């Protein structure tokens, strides 16, 4: 399996960057686009890498309904789109009620894509799964939120999901933002696939500080003997430093290609 970083917060070499995430996943002779960032940066970087998203990708997966993961959908059409049904609600920052949801409405999405909405896992190919809604079972993740819905009710981003890839009978977990908790996501991955050995976890971990949640996440990864850890996007510098101290991980940058 190969993962190409098309959009990330950190630029690599000649490639563009923005606050967002978009990965191209190549597995089972398919190319799957996971998130789109918030502009056409993913397309521009893909062209630099001689990847033709318009012609080569038939399936797009949306991790959740936030602008920095899905507003790039404005630059695509005529593809299958897999998402949780809650991804298309109007949502806002709690502190100032500024919008953080998708630019496209559900109606506009349905006119542009063949939409698969599901809370349940979806097997995209022989070795790749969309995890659907993530059960939140531990006591240190997804305990608070800085977002609200249209009615100013707390929005815990129930649509937050991820991908699970099976490579050599081990798991590679690919997250968008981990609002549901990256450890909860890994546990969901094990249950959906029936595989307990996790080789790698990469993507946004939504950790900001060197706090209890970050420490418990690192302890969880160590207890599960996960060898490759790639925190990115919404993982902020204090947490990134903690992960580096624990795992000496590489920093994710646009244009990077990871092979498993």
In a domain, 260, yes or no: no
In a domain, 15, yes or no: yes
The Cβ-side half-sphere exposure at 154, using a 13 Å CA radius, reads 6
Q: How many domains does the chain have?
A: 1
Q: Which residues does residue 147 pair with via DSSP β-bridges, in sequence order?
A: 93
Q: What local confidence, expressed as pLDDT, does residue 115 receive?
A: 98
- Counting every residue written for the chain, the total comes to 260
Q: Is 203 left (phi over 0), alpha (psi -120 to 50) or beta?
A: left
Instruction: Please compute the mean of the pLDDT values over residues 69-82 and round it to a whole number.
Output: 98
Question: What's the maximum distance between 2 C-alpha atoms anywhere in the chain?
Answer: 47
Q: What is the mean pLDDT of the chain?
A: 97
In a domain, 162, yes or no: yes
> Residue 202 — very low, low, confident or very high, per pLDDT cuts 50/70/90?
very high
> Residue 204 — very low, low, confident or very high, per pLDDT cuts 50/70/90?
very high
Instruction: Please compute the mean of the pLDDT values over residues 124-146 and round it to a whole number.
Output: 97
> Residue 203 — very low, low, confident or very high, per pLDDT cuts 50/70/90?
very high
In a domain, 257, yes or no: no
In a domain, 248, yes or no: yes
Locate tokens 């993507």: which residue?
Answer: 203
Condensed to tens digits (0 to 9), the pLDDT of residues 15-42 reads 999 999 999 999 999 999 999 999 999 9
Kind and range of the H or E run holding 68 = helix 67-70
Instruction: Look up the CATH number of the domain holding residue 79.
Output: 3.60.15.10
In a domain, 152, yes or no: yes
Q: What local confidence, expressed as pLDDT, does residue 123 receive?
A: 98
pTM (2 d.p.): 0.97
Q: Residue 31: which of 128, 130, 173 has the closest Cα?
A: 128
Q: What local confidence, expressed as pLDDT, does residue 236 receive?
A: 96
In a domain, 259, yes or no: no
In a domain, 258, yes or no: no
Q: What local confidence, expressed as pLDDT, does residue 132 receive?
A: 98
Q: What local confidence, expressed as pLDDT, does residue 18 receive?
A: 98
Q: Show the domain range for 65.
A: 2-252
Instruction: Please compute the mean of the pLDDT values over residues 127-137 and round it to a whole number.
Output: 98
- Alpha carbon distance 64, 133 (integer Å): 10
> Residue 61 — very low, low, confident or very high, per pLDDT cuts 50/70/90?
very high
Q: What local confidence, expressed as pLDDT, does residue 126 receive?
A: 98
> Residue 125 — very low, low, confident or very high, per pLDDT cuts 50/70/90?
very high
The answer to whether residues 156 and 142 touch, using CB atoms and an 8 Å cutoff, is yes
Instruction: Please compute the mean of the pLDDT values over residues 84-98 and round it to a whole number.
Output: 97
Q: What local confidence, expressed as pLDDT, does residue 152 receive?
A: 95
Q: Residue 162: which of 141, 177, 145, 142 has the closest Cα?
A: 177
Q: What local confidence, expressed as pLDDT, does residue 224 receive?
A: 98
- DSSP E strands in the chain: the ranges are 2-7, 22-27, 30-34, 59-61, 80-83, 91-93, 114-117, 122-125, 128-130, 147-149, 162-167, 170-175, 198-204, 228-232, 257-259
According to DSSP, residue 52 is labeled -
- Alpha carbon distance 192, 258 (integer Å): 24
């Amino acid at each position: 399996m190969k993962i190409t970083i098309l959009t990330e917060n950190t630029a690599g070499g000649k490639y563009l960057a923005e606050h967002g995430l978009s990965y191209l996943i190549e597995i089972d002779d398919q190319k799957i686009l996971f998130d789109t960032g918030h502009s056409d940066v993913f397309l521009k970087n893909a062209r630099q890498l001689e990847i033709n998203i318009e012609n080569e990708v038939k399936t797009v997966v949306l991790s959740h309904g936030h602008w920095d993961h899905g507003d790039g959908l404005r630059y695509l059409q005529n593809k299958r789109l897999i998402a949780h049904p809650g991804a298309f609600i109007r949502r806002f920052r709690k502190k100032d009620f500024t919008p953080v949801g998708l630019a496209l409405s559900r109606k506009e999405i349905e006119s542009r894509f063949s939409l698969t909405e599901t809370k349940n896992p979806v097997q995209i190919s022989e070795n790749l799964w969309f995890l659907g809604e993530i059960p939140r079972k531990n006591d240190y993740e997804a305990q608070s939120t800085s977002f609200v819905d249209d009615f100013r009710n707390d929005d815990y981003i129930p649509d937050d999901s991820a991908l699970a890839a099976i490579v050599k009978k081990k798991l590679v977990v690919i997250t968008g933002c981990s609002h549901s908790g990256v450890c909860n996501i890994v546990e969901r991955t094990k249950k959906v696939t029936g595989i307990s050995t996790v080789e790698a976890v990469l993507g946004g971990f939504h950790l900001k500080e060197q706090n209890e949640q970050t420490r418990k996440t690192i302890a969880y990864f160590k207890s599960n003997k996960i060898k490759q850890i790639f925190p990115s996007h919404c993982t902020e510098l204090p947490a990134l430093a903690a992960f580096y101290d624990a795992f000496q991980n590489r920093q994710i940058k646009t244009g990077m290609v990871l092979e498993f």
